A and B are shown apart, each in its own frame.
Chain A
């Protein structure tokens, strides 16, 4: 099994899907001749040409809508939006057209479009380049939302998303493109629904997604070694629809839950997971579920303040210790 970086895994998925189906195209700002800001489309322009690897103008709502319109006629566009902050400009087309068209046409029309975009807090990018907006996308009926935490998922989720007949939003992370991990050598399609147990444990479940899975895994090691607490880590790679059964199964096993998200707490992934736990696992609980979330501020430029704004591994450890009175 080869080790690939996150960006290499995404690039491989693009390449294979474009080779498989001449109606798969990719489009976005600088993704063609320049190979993409995060190299996710590197080399594809030379291989597939300007008609299929499209450098778009800086017009996010326009080109996202164009991709959606093309998808009505069977084209399978993979749209890269360079930063999730810019994706805000495309929300009208993504939410009002792609997510609703199957329903409002009574099932006649579908928009099999993939929109990929990195979010998250990287290195001193300031408030307008450090958004974590997955919680907004996951609230829209008709849109699937997935968020890979490793190269295997990044590869397999994109492969499945391209072939799925629903619009899929893939939330990537600016800090993860150089993360290395094993990706199967053979073709692999990752399910678009469900969750994965990233670490088995019996005492508490740490729910994470994308980068926060890694924080959870690190926190679990510390908790095990220093405090004798065995945490299970559940990777919620699918944010919409959320894996209710998976959440139920793990909480049913550990009876405690901590949800770790890089975004601010209000109306977030954490509040949604807590609501599910409350609705479906209330009588399983030995303690009230807890969220570890970001401060409710626009992300500051100053590095110290920036690190202070988002959760750290220590915050996860502290939250669990508090839950156990340790």
Chain B
């Protein structure tokens, strides 16, 4: 990772942070409805892993905390915000919402709201990749709490059994909604749980993007070389509650303060400042530019976009004009 990469990633992560914070405000303004699960604090996970992979080409799937992963894959932030605003210009045509961001063109294969649901879907995408003989990989980002679902064990068993090219990335933010990991999970160290399936794994600091990147490079190399799945555990922390309806009262201020000192953006920023690569003013200017861009381009686009037409309520339920519905083309 060279200096130019680090500077770019600093900008990308800061953009993601400001994007998510603006989502929070829009939710409070009632411009965004439903459930909203935000990402601040965990940015180094998505950006570090995807930086080591091929964004837009490797297939990515995740859970409901999905906006930032989509953007890193190449989704237009305007379309993501418009989706949150439930507009027809949204990346899922206003039918998906926060938990169902999709951008298949950039191989972001979706956010799914059923905890653990993406595990087998990722293995299936890897099966398809393998059948086609491509060197792409499937990457499945999910939180630590998803690992207690049966789908985790069923999928890892199959992925290992059949040497499928899938990278499982566990963003371990220590909480499943409001339940701390040691109160829900017998073996707290998630990377150890996959030993049962003979899957190689690693646990690293998920706040330091350079550490994440390095670990992900190794993981991606393993998976892409045809050696089967890999499991990467990233220790991280979300600043906000699980969702907007979560008052976040279950965590101590001391704990939150401790983690805020290990902010992935601040850490990278300070490193670049210390190395003399950027100044504090550069950073401030960049931040202002991002905030303006979000307001002037992204929010403005979402605000001014039309809603889906009620006449198209049933569109996308079933394939349109599928000849096999009528028994073929004749």
Residue of B with least CB distance to A109: B104
User: Interface stretch among A89-97, A266-274, A279-287?
Assistant: A89-97
Collect the chain A residues with CB atoms within 8 Å of residue B59's CB. 73
Residue of A with least CB distance to B114: A96
Tell me which of B102, B126, B127, B150 contacts A61 (CB under 8 A): B150
Min CB distance B80 to A, Å, is 12
Is there a chain B Cβ closer than 8 Å to A66's Cβ? yes
Is there a chain B Cβ closer than 8 Å to A122's Cβ? no
Given known pairs A63-B158, A65-B151, A164-B319, the reply for A105 and B104 (CB within 8 Å) is yes
Is there a chain A Cβ closer than 8 Å to B196's Cβ? no
User: Interface stretch among A29-37, A190-198, A200-208?
Assistant: A190-198
Q: Are B92 and A69 in contact (CB under 8 A)?
A: no
Is there a chain A Cβ closer than 8 Å to B241's Cβ? no
A168–B326 alpha-carbon span in the complex (Å) = 14
Is there a chain B Cβ closer than 8 Å to A166's Cβ? yes
Q: Are A102 and B319 in contact (CB under 8 A)?
A: yes
Q: Are B96 and A93 in contact (CB under 8 A)?
A: no
Collect the chain B residues with CB atoms within 8 Å of residue A63's CB. 120, 154, 158
User: Interface stretch among A39-47, A155-163, A220-228?
Assistant: A155-163
The A-contacting residues of B in range 107-166, CB under 8 angstroms, are: 109-110, 112, 114, 117, 119-129, 131-132, 138, 150-151, 154-155, 157-158, 161
A8–B225 alpha-carbon span in the complex (Å) = 41
Size class of the A contact interface (CB-based, 8 Å): 35 or more
Residue of B with least CB distance to A64: B120
A93–B155 alpha-carbon span in the complex (Å) = 12
Is there a chain B Cβ closer than 8 Å to A106's Cβ? yes
Is there a chain B Cβ closer than 8 Å to A108's Cβ? yes
Residue of B with least CB distance to A167: B318
Tell me which of B122, B124, B126, B322 contacts A166 (CB under 8 A): B322
Collect the chain B residues with CB atoms within 8 Å of residue A236's CB. none
A95–B131 alpha-carbon span in the complex (Å) = 26
Min CB distance B33 to A, Å, is 15
Given known pairs A23-B131, A191-B326, the reply for A107 and B117 (CB within 8 Å) is no
Collect the chain B residues with CB atoms within 8 Å of residue A62's CB. 119-120, 123, 150-151, 154-155, 157-158
Collect the chain A residues with CB atoms within 8 Å of residue B154's CB. 57, 59, 61-63
Report the interface size for chain B: residues with CB under 8 A from the other chain: 51
Is there a chain B Cβ closer than 8 Å to A185's Cβ? no
Collect the chain B residues with CB atoms within 8 Å of residue A86's CB. none
Q: Are B157 and A165 in contact (CB under 8 A)?
A: no
Tell me which of A73, A106, A192 contacts B91 (CB under 8 A): A106
Tell me which of B102, B121, B124, B319 contacts A105 (CB under 8 A): B102
A314–B121 alpha-carbon span in the complex (Å) = 47
Min CB distance B44 to A, Å, is 27
A109–B316 alpha-carbon span in the complex (Å) = 10
A166–B150 alpha-carbon span in the complex (Å) = 26
Q: Are B158 and A109 in contact (CB under 8 A)?
A: no
Is there a chain A Cβ closer than 8 Å to B90's Cβ? yes
A164–B325 alpha-carbon span in the complex (Å) = 7
Min CB distance A105 to B, Å, is 4
Min CB distance A228 to B, Å, is 36
Q: Are A93 and B122 in contact (CB under 8 A)?
A: no
Min CB distance B152 to A, Å, is 9
Given known pairs A97-B121, A144-B318, the reply for A106 and B102 (CB within 8 Å) is yes
A93–B293 alpha-carbon span in the complex (Å) = 39
A101–B150 alpha-carbon span in the complex (Å) = 21
**B138, B157, B325 — which one has the most chain A CB atoms within 10 A of its CB?**
B325
Min CB distance B114 to A, Å, is 5
Q: Are A156 and B327 in contact (CB under 8 A)?
A: yes
Collect the chain B residues with CB atoms within 8 Å of residue A67's CB. 124
Residue of A with least CB distance to B113: A96
Residues of A within 8 A of B (CB): 23, 25, 51-52, 56-57, 59, 61-75, 92-93, 96-97, 101-110, 141-142, 144, 156, 160-161, 163-166, 189-193
The 4 A-B pairs at the shortest CB distance, nearest first, are namely A69-B124, A62-B154, A65-B120, A106-B93
Q: List 9 A-B contacts (CB under 8 A).
A: A62-B119, A65-B120, A69-B61, A70-B125, A70-B128, A97-B114, A105-B100, A156-B327, A192-B324
